[in-house]
Each structure stands twice: as structure tokens, then as C-alpha cells.
Structure 1
Amino acid sequence: FCRTISSTSVQASDIRPLPVLRETMDYLLHLLDSSEHQFEIVHDFIFDRTRSVRQDLSIQNIVNAQAIQIYEDVIKFHILSHQKLSRSSQDSDASSLCYLNMEQLMKCLLSLFDMYDVIHKNNSQSSKETEYYSFYVLLHLGCKIPKMVDSLSLWYGHLSASIIQSKEMVFARSILRFYHLGNFKRFFCAIAAEGTDLQLRLLEPFLNEARVRALMYFNHSGYKLQHHPLTHLSEILMIEELDLETLCRLCGLEISNNEDTKAFAPKQASFCVPASIPQINGIYISRENQR
């Protein structure tokens, strides 16, 4: 799996045909549910082999519905890894894996978009196109992601109106807008109510970044005597109250306890954005939590 595309020693017999690549991808996705080894080990194994699958597709210059489905599955693997690795990112090895995984996710998305452009010329399209385009938009929420190729406004100009107006893209653009406007109630409500499973998994590692940003806004607003109850904030930010308290203390906020109600006073000069924001287990927002 160290073979490079430029290698002169590659024989035709070394290249796997499309049906074999499809079977390989199915096998690798099946391994994602393995509990025999730690996820980091499973991730490394699948990571190397999905790169090899993509190499074989590139060498053969295969661009069709089956090849696109394989790329979509590779991206699905990277999104699931993005979620799971972020939960253990306090470990330095896991942090490096997170970065490499994100880097490959971006490369796969851009390659997939090129493949979409090719099949569009034949009046064909993938049923998952709009969702996968939305992933690129949602990745702009993160502050530690690889540098994007173009600004979003320029990138939108290359997309058709049907893609821009799709529910997946409307959702992604709304989430980005709510975040930048500081409308965190609508931000979290929209995520819980409208996001697809993969969109939610992609967003999960960014949610605590959004919560810290919200706490900064709450701390800078209001009067010193008008405390912010954690019970109320936990409902807005969709996080367990104990986890929110941990996040507040990590940001340097002093929590008061009055008649069994925990709250913090605004205008605390001790507030700071943590250099490392932990990914708390259980912050994944599912529709079941909203019923």
C-alpha cells in the first residue's frame, strides 16, 4: 500500500478492476464496526487501504456511477472517523490522526466534485450530490481545518441553482449563517431538527467550539447582577448541565450556586477561550433527544 501513481514498476496485473475495488470497499466499511481493536488501529488499517483504492481508480481514470459511489463511501469513512477520533483527540497521536483524516476528507471531497462535473456532462448525477456538497460548506465551521481552495462565495458561483436550493445546502448555509450571527438557539435547534446523520456526525466535533463562542457572547452581555442560569443555557446549547459547567470552568468562568441553581455572572474578566476544547462524549445530537 506504499505504491505511488508515478511508480514505473506497476504492472497491469497489480491494478484491481472496478468490481474488486467495490468488494474491497464493502469489506473495509464492514471493519468500521469492529470492536476487536481500538478505533485508532482500525482507522489506520482502513485509511491506508482506501487511499490504495483511490489510487487504482485514478490510474484507470474511471469516472462513473460506481466509482463515485466508492468515493462517497470513502468520504463517509472519513466523516465517521472525524467524529470518533475527535472524542479522543486529547491524545497527541489521535490529534495527528484527526488532522490527517481531515486533510484526506477535503481531498476526497474536491476529487468527488470533479467527478460530479464529469457525469453532469452526460446528463447524469448522483442521488447523494447535494448532501456531499453540503459537507464542504459545513467544514467551514471549524477553525482547525486545512485551507480551502476558494472562498465560499466564489465556490457557490460554480454550483447549479438546483444544488444551491436543495434542502441539504439550505441547511448547511443556514447553520453557517446562524453561527456567524451568534444565533446559537437557532443554530442548535436547526442541527437537531434538520441535519442528516452524516451532517450531524461531521458537525459534532465543532459543537463545543460553538458553545465556547456562545459563552463568550453571554459573558459579554447583560448586567453583572443578571446571572445566566446553567439550566437555561444547557437547553439553548443542547448539552448536559454538568458538561456545560465543566466547559464554563474551562473558560475561566466562576459558577455561583444559589438555592440549587447554578449560574454565572456576566462581565467576568477571567473569561478566556481555551487553547484546547475537549470533545465531551454524549454531545452528539440525535432526533430522539428532541422527541
Structure 2
Amino acid sequence: MGGLDLAEESDDADPSTLAVGTCPGMCPASEFDRRKCQRRLHRLELGPSPSCQPDASLAVKEYSRPAAGKPPPRPEELRPPPVLLDTVRHLLSLDDGAKGDEAERCAFVTDRLRAVRLDLTLQRLTSRPCAIPILERALVFLLHAGSRLHAQPDSRFDAHLHREQVQESFAALRRAYRQGQAKDQGVAAASEPRFQALFLLYNLGSPAALGQVLHLPKGSRTSPDIVLALAIHWAFLERNFARFFRLASALPYLPSCALQPHLVAARRQALATFSHGFSARNCRYPLARLARMLALGGAEEAAQLCRAHGLTVVDDSVAFQKGSLKDSVAPEHPWPSCPFVEGKRGQEALLDLAERLCS
């Protein structure tokens, strides 16, 4: 899978040369004052209407790429781990009952999560056990947002950049798990199997991801979350799409979000398999049954999917023919597959979901 970050990160720097954050709030006072003067505060950093005044308690440090030759940040510009954890919790809470543009809100939260990871990196904490609860909660939001916005145009949601951030967060989190096990005599964090399973589902079909999960300690590898993720992975590799979608449909909300980016490819491969297996002059396959098998929203959505792939729909059935399947589908047919993800979350707030799943 492209973008799978397998690089290691060294934390062996001289402790005397590392910055230790002392910023007590989500945004350093100097940055808040500067952005306030520049009128660059986001609407989510303003107080309630009608006044909408700048509110230092709502401001969150924005991401700023480190530049060559730029002096290192001062301690008061870096947030220590407890403040970073509170920051991520605040960002998660913005999704609950929020009104307005969801893509805009996602862009704001994603930018601020990049700044959180940068603060960890500048303090050489990214691979430390103290980063685990921070990175886990960041991934909850990133997976949720990616599923919600995947069908948005590139001008509103940069899927490539989002995927890079997810992969970087997974890589840092998995390094932190290894550091924690080294310090705790091989005892894994209680939440580790759950997030290792999310990592495998997000990287469905990746030999590198599969190899890494198979090399996990037995206690993690045999957990129910990873056993199910492995079963889904093998079903996909074996092109057993009936089993793949049956297992995938039973996933809870967050694992469904992690798997969602692969559904378009899985459905196309399933149609290609069926085009060979059910290709006959008078053979018709019921659209309602196909919709259930591919976790679609009903027979009409199945018909649209088949037509988009060049297959012939006759009444309430599809006629599979070898060679009739299109090699690609136009971008305007993303097939968001609401039944696969939507409804699984229920009424649970995103912050509550994160607190239930994370360390």
C-alpha cells in the first residue's frame, strides 16, 4: 500500500538538548496574540454569537512547518503531554452536535492534530508511552473524518494528505507500543490489539502491514480484534468476497471507518469475479441479493453500481458477461456505502467513543 510508513524514529538524543514544554494552554499566549492581531483566529476559536469575540480558552495552536535556520521553539511554546491530551479531547468534542461546514471543521481539527504531533516530535516524545493516549484519540478522529468526507471533492477534502497523516499517526503509535512493551516486560497496553487491528484494516492487502501484525506477540495477535481483522484480510486476498463482506459488515463503527477506503476496490474486484463465475447466456443475478452481499444500500444502488461498471441490468437482475466490466469508473461514482458505516455509531458522541476505546 502506498504511503505505509515503516520508518523507525530514534529517541536517543541527549536529554539535556531537548526542549521540555511548559505551555499551560492549548495555544501559546504569543501565538494567540499574534493571530488575534492578524485576524487569523478560526471561527471555532471565537466565543459564542452574537459577539464572537476571540477566546484564548478556545484557541488551539496551529501547525507551522519547521523551517531550516529557524530557532527552536521556546519551552513556553511547547505543550507537555497532559496539555496535549486535553487538547485532543477538546478537538474531539468539536464534532459532537456541531453545526456548520463539516469539511471546514475537519480541516481545522486535522491541522491542529498535526500541531499536536509536531509538539510531541520536538520534545522527542512521539515514540514514548506517554504519547499513546494522545495518538490513539487523534486516530479516532482521523479515521472518523476520513470515512465521513471521502466522497467530497479534492477542493474540500485532500484524501492524499489525510491518508499520510493517518499513516504517520499509526507509525508513531505502533512505535510507542513497542517502547511501552520494552519498559513493561512485554506487557501490551490494553488498547493495543484494537488499534493494531485498525492498522491492518486501514492497510488492507498490504504485505508489509500483514507481516508486521503477524509478528506481534501472541497475546496481541490472538485477541478477538486482530483475529477478525486477519480473517477479513485473508478473505480479501483470497478473493472470497462473500466472506469478506459478511465479516466486514459485522465490524463496529471505527473498524468500519478504517476499512471503508477499500470498499470501492473490493466491490469492483467482486464484480469482476462474478462476471467470470456467473457468465452465461440466460444467467441473471438478483440485484437485491447482490446489494446484501456487497453491503450496499439496496437494489437501486446495486443497479447503479453495475451500470457504472458497464454491466447490463435487466429488470431487478444483472447479467454478468465476461469482458463487459469497465477497467475504471468515473470519479463521480464514489459509492459512499452508507449502510456499511452509518448507523453503527448510534448516538454516541465521538469524544465518548474515543474515551471508551483508548488508553
Instruction: State the TM-score, normalized to the length of structure 2.
Output: 0.70
Taking only aligned residues, the RMSD between alpha carbons, in angstroms, comes to: 2.4
Alignment partner of 2:144: what SS?
helix
1:1-291 residue pairs with structure 2 within 5 A? 1-4=63-66, 7-33=70-96, 35-62=98-125, 65-88=129-152, 91-94=153-156, 97-123=158-184, 124-141=187-204, 151-152=208-209, 154-156=211-213, 158-193=215-250, 195-222=251-278, 223-239=280-296, 240-257=298-315, 262-272=316-326, 273-276=328-331, 277-280=333-336, 282-285=338-341
Aligned partners of 2:129 and 2:177 also within 8 Å: no
Gap regions ≥5 residues in structure 2: 1-62, 347-359
Contact 2:170 2:199 in 1 (8 A): yes
The worse-fitting range, judged by mean Cα deviation, of 127-136 and 273-282 is: 273-282
Structure 1's consecutive aligned runs of 4 or more residues displaced over 3 angstroms after TM superposition are 62-66, 285-289
SS at match of 1:255: strand
**What displacement does 1:275 show?**
4.7
Deviates more, 1:15-24 or 1:152-161: 152-161
- C-alpha displacement of 1:109: 0.4
TM value normalised by structure 1: 0.85
Kindly name which structure, 1 or 2, has the bigger radius of gyration based on alpha carbons.
Answer: 2
Q: List runs of 5+ in structure 1 lacking aligned partners.
A: 143-147
Q: Deviations over 1:29-58 (max 9, x none)?
A: 111235333122111111111111112222
Give me the whole-angstrom Cα distance separating, in 2, the residues matched to 1:235 and 1:155.
33
Q: Could you tell me which amino acid in structure 2 is paired with residue 198 of structure 1?
A: L
- Per-residue CA shift, 1:186-230, capped at 9, x if unaligned? 11221222x232101212232232222211111122322111111
How far does the alpha carbon of each residue in 1:15-74 deviate from its partner, in whole angstroms, 9 at most, with x for none?
Answer: 112222122111111112353331221111111111111122222233655421011011
Q: How many residues align?
A: 275
Identity of aligned residues (%): 25
